[in-house]
């Protein structure tokens, strides 16, 4: 009798959960424009923590920090990561703000308190159901040097300087329009026609 009653209680809890989820979806929809609720953010962080194996969380960065490593990681970040995360790690970009959930501000404690191993695992493997892809180079787990170098750069983000940000801006990927403009300017400097963007109408 007690076993039957326990089954009914479990079934009731499941039905209540499904009803609450249905109500939530009907009330908020699936729009990516809204901010995740505090409950969603809490659950997402917990699930991310559970999804990272203990061995990965405890992994130590095998790449020694140096100015050269930081410079390489900065260039890599500017070229591959800044489109969503911004050069300063704030996530304040047009693409980043259109994602759901939005990229975290990596200068803040939610990211900085992650272990090196956790940061590496996220960079190398990505995070499901978010816009974060896997950037691992296909090497064996734990041996992707580029991802480990990026961990050093993420640790550096809270101290990034205006000079470094200006340097990164030169490394950011250019749009087709920007590339065309540069090509026209180069052609003009070599004696060609004046760039269309500089012509007077």
Question: What is the reported pLDDT for 99?
Answer: 85
Question: What is the reported pLDDT for 80?
Answer: 93
Task: Please provide residue 96's backbone torsions phi and psi, each rounded to the nearest 5 degrees.
Answer: -60, -40
Q: The dihedral of CA 57, 61, 65, 70: what is its sign?
A: negative
CB 147 within 8 A of CB 121: no
Locate 155 and state its tokens: 């640790």
User: Of 83, 86, 73, whose CA–CA distance to 156 is shortest?
Assistant: 73
Question: What is the reported pLDDT for 33?
Answer: 59
Question: What is the reported pLDDT for 184?
Answer: 74
CB 172 within 8 A of CB 79: yes
Question: What is the reported pLDDT for 68?
Answer: 97
CB 126 within 8 A of CB 133: yes
Question: What is the reported pLDDT for 134?
Answer: 87
Task: Please report how many Cα atoms fall inside a 13 Å half-sphere around the Cα of residue 25, on the Cβ side.
Answer: 7
Question: What is the reported pLDDT for 15?
Answer: 72
Which domains, ranges and CATH numbers included, belong to the chain? 34-174 (1.10.760)
What is the C-alpha separation between 101 and 60, in angstroms, rounded? 28
Question: What is the reported pLDDT for 61?
Answer: 96
pLDDT in tens, 27-45: 555 555 566 666 666 666 6
DSSP string, 63-110: SPP-HHHHHHHHHHIIIIIHHHH-TTSS--SHHHHTSSSPPP-TTSHH
CB 119 within 8 A of CB 73: no
Question: What is the reported pLDDT for 191?
Answer: 73
- Please list the rounded mean pLDDT of every run of 10 residues in the chain (201 residues): 67 70 56 63 67 89 97 96 96 89 93 96 87 77 87 98 96 80 72 61 48
Residue 27 belongs to what H/E stretch? helix 2-28
Q: The dihedral of CA 184, 190, 193, 199: what is its sign?
A: positive
Q: SS3 of 150, please?
A: helix
């Amino acid at each position: 009798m007690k076993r039957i009653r326990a089954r009914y209680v479990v079934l009731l809890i499941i039905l209540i959960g499904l009803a609450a989820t249905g109500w939530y979806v009907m009330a908020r929809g699936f729009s990516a424009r809204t901010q995740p609720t505090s409950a969603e953010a809490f659950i997402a962080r917990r699930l991310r923590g559970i999804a990272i194996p203990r061995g990965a969380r405890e992994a130590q960065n095998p790449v020694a920090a140096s100015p050269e490593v930081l410079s390489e990681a900065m260039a890599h970040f500017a070229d591959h990561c800044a489109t969503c995360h911004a050069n300063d790690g704030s996530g304040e970009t047009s693409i980043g703000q259109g994602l759901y959930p939005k990229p975290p501000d990596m200068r803040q404690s939610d990211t900085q308190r992650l272990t090196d191993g956790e940061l590496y695992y996220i960079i190398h493997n990505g995070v499901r159901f978010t816009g974060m892809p896997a950037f691992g180079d296909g090497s064996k787990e734990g041996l992707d040097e580029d991802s480990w170098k990026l961990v050093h750069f993420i640790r550096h983000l809270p101290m990034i300087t205006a000079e470094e940000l200006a340097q990164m801006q030169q490394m950011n990927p250019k749009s087709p329009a920007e590339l065309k403009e540069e090509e026209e300017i180069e052609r003009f400097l070599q004696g060609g026609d004046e760039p269309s963007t500089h012509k007077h109408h």
